[in-house]
Amino acid sequence: MAIRNILTYPEKSLMQPSAKVESIDEEIRTLIADMGETMFDAPGVGLAAPQVGVNKRVIVYDFHAGNPDDDGLAHEFKALINPEIIDASGSIISEKEACLSVVDFSADVKRYETVVVKALDMEGKPLEFRADGILSVIMQHEIDHLDGILFINRISVLKRTLYKKKLAKELKTN
């Protein structure tokens, strides 16, 4: 396992849709292991393959996120291959949503309260599950990455413009 470099906005590859995984081979298994290690090292609660420079439909997430009973447990994550949201309902505001690829910025984002996700597990077995609350937000956020969408694309134009100006100024001074 290795910690991979996390790409940050305005990296153009983050805005491109990812390719479907056709076979779960050793390369994909290594990617998943590296992504899990990278996510916890960052630290984060989810990570999509495009964030580490791999244009494949793979995500990892901390399935203990948001559960106070699970605090202090060993770093455990799950991987989803070719995930898609097949149903969504309700509405919540994801307060101060942030992203490992959008440095030093958080914002309130309107999300679905509940989603149903269909994917493959690491063995290639199909799975389908319902996600609520924080897990729903993680699923939407990470699957957005696979579609080339960053959370800043889901906030107001004004807030997005302010962030871009701030980032441009920081990049200019470095």
Using the structure block, give the residue that is written with the tokens 């871009």: 164
> Which among 153, 165, 30, 142 is positioned nearest to 84, based on CA atoms?
142
Inter-CA distances, 113 with 20, 88, 146, Å: 26, 8, 20
Residue 71 scores a pLDDT above 80: no
Region 36-61: mean pLDDT is 97
pLDDT for the residue 64: 80
Q: What is the mean pLDDT of residues 115-143?
A: 97
CATH of the domain at 24: 3.90.45.10
Model confidence at 73: pLDDT above 70: no
Q: Residue 72 above 60 pLDDT?
A: no
Reduced to 3 states, what is the DSSP secondary structure of residue 156?
A: coil
Contacts of residue 151, Cβ cutoff 8 Å, sequence gap at least 6:
97, 98, 99, 102, 107, 109, 141, 144
Q: What is the mean pLDDT of the chain?
A: 93
Q: Is pLDDT of 171 > 80?
A: no
Percent of the chain with pLDDT over 90: 83
| Number of structural domains in the chain | 1
What pLDDT score does 74 carry?
A: 62
The set of catalytic residues is 142
Domain that holds residue 102: 12-173
pLDDT for 21-47, tens place per residue?
999 999 999 999 999 999 999 999 999
| Residue 158 covered by a domain | yes
Residue 45 lies in a domain: yes
pTM for this model (two decimals): 0.92
CA distances from 118 to 11, 24, 26, 111, 121 (A): 28, 16, 22, 18, 10
Give the pLDDT band (50/70/90) at residue 50.
very high
pLDDT exceeds 60 at position 147:
yes
pLDDT for position 169: 86
| Residue 143 placed within a domain | yes
The answer to whether residue 5 sits within a structural domain is: no
Is residue 6 in a domain? no
For residues 11-19, give the mean pLDDT.
97
147: its two tokens: 């579609």
Q: pLDDT for 161-170, tens place per residue?
A: 999 898 888 8
Q: Is 7 among the domain residues? A: no
Q: Answer yes or no: are the C-beta atoms of 63 and 76 closer than 8 Å.
A: yes
Residues in the chain: 174
Cα–Cα distance for residue pair 92/14, rounded to 1 Å: 25
Q: Supply angle C-alpha 12, 5, 137, rounded to 5.
A: 70
